[in-house]
Amino acid sequence: MLDFLKELPKVELHAHLNGSLSISTLRDLGEKVYGENTEEFLELCARFIKFDRNSKLEECFEKFAFVHELTSTEKGLRYATEFAIRDFAQDNVQYVELRTTPKANSHYTRREYLHYVVESIRSAQTKYPKIMVKLLASINRAEPVAVAEETVSLALEFAKTDGDIVVGIDLSGNPARGKFSDFIPALRSAREQGLKLAIHCAEIENPSEIKEMLAFGMSRCGHGTYLSKDDLTHMKRHNIPVECCLTSNVKSGTVSSYEEHHLKQLMEAEAPKVLCTDDSGVFDTTLSMEFHLATQTFGLNRSQCIELTKEAVHHSFASSEEKQKMLIKLEEFLKRNP
Ligand SMILES: CNc1ncnc2c1ncn2[C@@H]1O[C@H](COP(=O)(O)O)[C@@H](O)[C@H]1O
Ligand SMILES: [Zn+2]
């Protein structure tokens, strides 16, 4: 089964750039950025992917500081983007929607951050022509609304010049921070001007915020862990897929075990869903492994894995021609693996 899943031309819709660098890629990046990997750096890499049974979501957000340091220069950021794409391509992901929070520091502005990422995506497309890459600009809800407004206006600007790559906005960051309603005007303006919205919703228990988010609407829902039965009916009626990230949820402690993952409820309710990695680096996983976990835990068979991939094609922010291309790749794969 794992071989079949590794070969499957998969579609990844929920991947944070700075969270998607595998441990060996972090070492590659360390060498590029610092010239060598010191013992101390290797120790930090090992600690980066370490979780214990009592790990909490809060700890994940502290972990990102380590990669953010590595990508705090133009060089680091460009390499990180290329390496993340390389890792997905190696796992036979045929389409990935990366998302990343534009940052500003002494080396770059938020506009330059996006520019470097978009340029690296373009050059990676030449180097790894089998994978198609899109980008969502992330709003970190722990940051001020003014930053969110700047992110939206930059995403709109890039959507004009690089509309084949920049397709939407993601709302993410520590769900215990910030107030969703404060971000509504920025998100609404993005949507009205043609950007798609993927929103981290119900990653933790917060019924009033979930209500606000569902009333506002979204193209896709990140995690959806604490959606009620009625909410699932809403998702089904409005054809909003839940981006399920099994390892992320279990390792960060928002779901207590794989068996209890809400993918089961989503399947039973026949509600839209997609399998994703979230942060394949931090959570030390791959999309193939996420599918494998789903087959092991919930008994999904090969054709259900294909159906899930088709659902991902359908819910991607790709153009209809691009979706058609993905489906053809799937058909070709099926012919080789009847
Ligand atoms: C574990 N569940 C999660 N829930 C919410 N937000 C998350 C996340 N995992 C990652 N991020 C968001 O993505 C950033 C890292 O990638 P970028 O620097 O943007 O490329 C994190 O700092 C956080 O804001
Ligand atoms: Zn996420």
Q: Could you read off the pLDDT of 253-270 as tens digits, one per residue?
A: 999 999 999 999 999 999
> Helix 207-216 crosses helix 180-192 at what angle (to 10 degrees)?
10
Closest ligand to C-alpha of residue 13 is 2
DSSP letters of 233-266?
HHHHHTTPPEEE-HHHHHHTTSSS-GGG-THHHH
Instruction: Count CA atoms within 13 Å of residue 239 on its CB side.
Output: 5
Q: What are the structure tokens assigned to 166, written together?
A: 């920049």
Q: What are the structure tokens assigned to 326, written together?
A: 């993905």
- Enter the pTM of the model: 0.98
pLDDT digit string, tens, across residues 83-122:
999 999 999 999 999 999 999 999 999 999 999 999 999 9
Q: Which residues pair with 148 in a beta bridge?
A: none
Query: What is the predicted pLDDT for the residue at 312?
Result: 98
Query: What is the predicted pLDDT for the residue at 338?
Result: 81
- 96 DSSP assignment: E
Residue to mutate (ligand 1; options 14, 16, 151; most atoms within 8 A of CB) = 16
- Whether 55 shows a pLDDT value over 80: the answer reads no
Closest ligand to C-alpha of residue 101 is 1
Position 159 confidence tier, pLDDT thresholds 50, 70, 90: very high
Distance of CA 218 from the midpoint of ligand 2 (Å): 15
In the annotation, is 39 catalytic?
no
- 330 DSSP assignment: H
Residue to mutate (ligand 1; options 61, 177, 225, 245; most atoms within 8 A of CB) = 61
CA-based nearest residue to 100, from 134, 131, 130, 125: 134
Tell me yes or no: is domain 2-336 CATH 3.90.1150.10.
Answer: no
Distance of CA 157 from the midpoint of ligand 2 (Å): 24
- Contact of 58 with 97, CB cutoff 8 Å: no
Give the mean model confidence (pLDDT) for residues 236-245.
98
Long-range contacts of 148-155 (CB under 8 A, 24+ apart): 148/183, 148/186, 148/187, 149/186, 150/102, 150/110, 151/101, 151/102, 151/110, 151/186, 152/186, 152/187, 152/189, 152/190, 152/195, 154/102, 154/110, 154/111, 154/114, 155/114, 155/190, 155/195
Residue 252 Cβ contacting ligand 1 at under 6 Å: yes
**153 Cβ partners below 8 Å, 6+ apart?**
none
Termini Cα distance of the chain: 13
Beta-strand pair 132-140/196-201: unpaired
Complex ipTM over 0.95: yes
Q: What are the structure tokens assigned to 67, written together?
A: 């990669």
